[in-house]
Amino acid sequence: MREPVFEGSGVAIVTPFAKDGSINFPKLGELIDFHVAAKTDAVVICGTTGESSTQSLEEHMAAVDFCVQHTAGRMKVIAGAGSNDTNAALMLSKSAKDSGADATLLVTPYYNKATQTGLIKHYTYIADRVDIPMILYNVPSRTGLSFTAETYAALAKHPNINGVKEASGNFSLIASTRALCGDDFYIWSGNDDQVVPLMALGGKGVISVLSNILPEVTVQMTHACLAGNYEEGAKLQIDYMKLVNALFCEVNPIPVKAAMNLMGFDVGGCRLPLCEMTEKNLAFLKQTMLDAGIAL
């Protein structure tokens, strides 16, 4: 039986940008150190929250390489490698392996909206050619496409496909997947507002936006569930729901980057077409952070 890539809290880390718009690598190193100190279990670099969609291939590969080198084995590194072009996803996956990443994260092909057969062919093509654990990523709100439980079951047979980051919010799909795939296909929550219920269905943790600002809380929540203490996990889930909702009052990662800047992390803004928050939503986010006890 294969082992999960990680258990517990994985941060979907932001990509900090300098004033000239380039990746701020010294700041990225500081953020990685911050998560090591907080005992975050894994870092996901160049995912949705990391704004991979507005990075050049060269920037993307450089960010993954830097993350692996700077982390230096102190936590697992999962490299975003998804694309709606199978060959581009393959290239990014090969590059991630060459950099020394522990695993890749591949979103479903967006815009061209593959069939379920196309999904199986897409992921199998890549998994056959890169010997590195792969985590699928299901986020139909962004891609217009979702896996079925039957497709998960077909892909779970491949030894290099480790599991899925599930951000569909569809608990019927998650339960059906667990029933079809058993314990050898792992599921991580992709939604900070659903960590505990997904883990109660056998999930192994979360790939989290919240962890960017409250890594200790996310670690505590997930590790409580891993230990079978769902009451403790549920309390944390409920206590921080208002903050989680505030972090998604505009499209991710706009609010979390604003929150980090309010906390003094100085991660810069987002690249267009993402832009700064409205004054109303920024005030709401700031007040929600203060209500949660975060010093600004």
Give tens-digit pLDDT for 133-150.
999 999 999 999 999 999
Q: What is the structure's pLDDT at 171?
A: 97
Q: Is 137 a catalytic residue?
A: yes
Of 27, 76, 123, 137, which residue is the catalytic one? Answer: 137
Please identify, in words, the CATH class of the domain defined by 8-240. Answer: alpha beta
Question: Residue 214's pLDDT is what?
Answer: 98
Banded pLDDT at 113 (limits 50, 70, 90): confident
Global confidence as pTM? 0.96
Provide mean pLDDT across the span 39-49: 98
The pLDDT of 241-254, averaged and rounded, is 98
Write out pLDDT tens, residues 51-82: 999 999 999 999 999 999 999 999 999 999 99
The residue-averaged pLDDT of 158-187 equals 97
Average pLDDT over residues 166-179: 97
Distance CA 221, CA 236 (A): 6
**Which of 65, 83, 163 lies closest to 125, judged by CA?**
83
Q: In the structure, what pLDDT confidence band is assigned to residue 1 with cuts at 50, 70 and 90?
A: confident
Strand blocks (E) in the chain: 8-12, 42-45, 76-80, 103-107, 134-138, 161-166, 186-189, 205-208
Please report the pLDDT score of residue 158 as a whole number.
98
Q: Structural domain boundaries of the chain?
A: 8-240
Q: Cβ distance 135 to 106 under 8 Å?
A: yes
DSSP class of 194: G
230 in catalytic set:
no
Q: Given a cut of 90, is residue 248 above it in pLDDT?
A: yes
pLDDT of residue 55: 97
Query: Which residues touch 72 (CB under 8 Å, ≥6 apart)?
Result: none
Question: Catalytic pick from 27, 76, 97, 165?
Answer: 165
What is the share, in percent, of the chain residues with pLDDT greater than 90? 98
Average pLDDT over residues 18-38: 98
pLDDT bracket for residue 164 (50, 70, 90): very high
Question: What is the C-alpha to C-alpha distance for residues 47 and 44, in angstroms, rounded to an integer?
Answer: 6
